[in-house]
Amino acid sequence: MNKNLKTYLVSLAIEPDRFSEFVANPGDAAKKAGLSSEDQAILLSGDQNRIYRALHDQVASDTN
């Protein structure tokens, strides 16, 4: 299962079990979800601006 950051964040919002897993152990949950090491680093940084930029870039590439 290979997800990008946007898809993973949506799954956290709509799947309570996945969200609980993330809250309990963010690093393991992100890795298990198949996020790239770059997306894991962005998410786990906790830097809202960095996460926003990554999401913006992924949405832009999805529409091209």
Give 31's contacts (C-beta < 8 A, 6+ positions apart): 40
**Which one has a higher pLDDT value, 59 or 16?**
16
Q: What is the pLDDT of residue 57?
A: 86
Looking at residue 45, what DSSP letter applies?
H
Q: What is the pLDDT of residues 36-63, one digit of tens each?
A: 999 999 999 999 999 999 999 887 777 7
* Structural domain containing residue 23: 5-63
Q: Which residue has the higher pLDDT, 26 or 3?
A: 26
| Number of domains making up the chain | 1
Q: What is the mean pLDDT of residues 23-28?
A: 97
Report the alpha-carbon distance of residue 32 to residue 58 in Å, rounded. Answer: 20
Q: Has residue 25 got a pLDDT over 90?
A: yes
C-alpha of 24 from chain center: 15
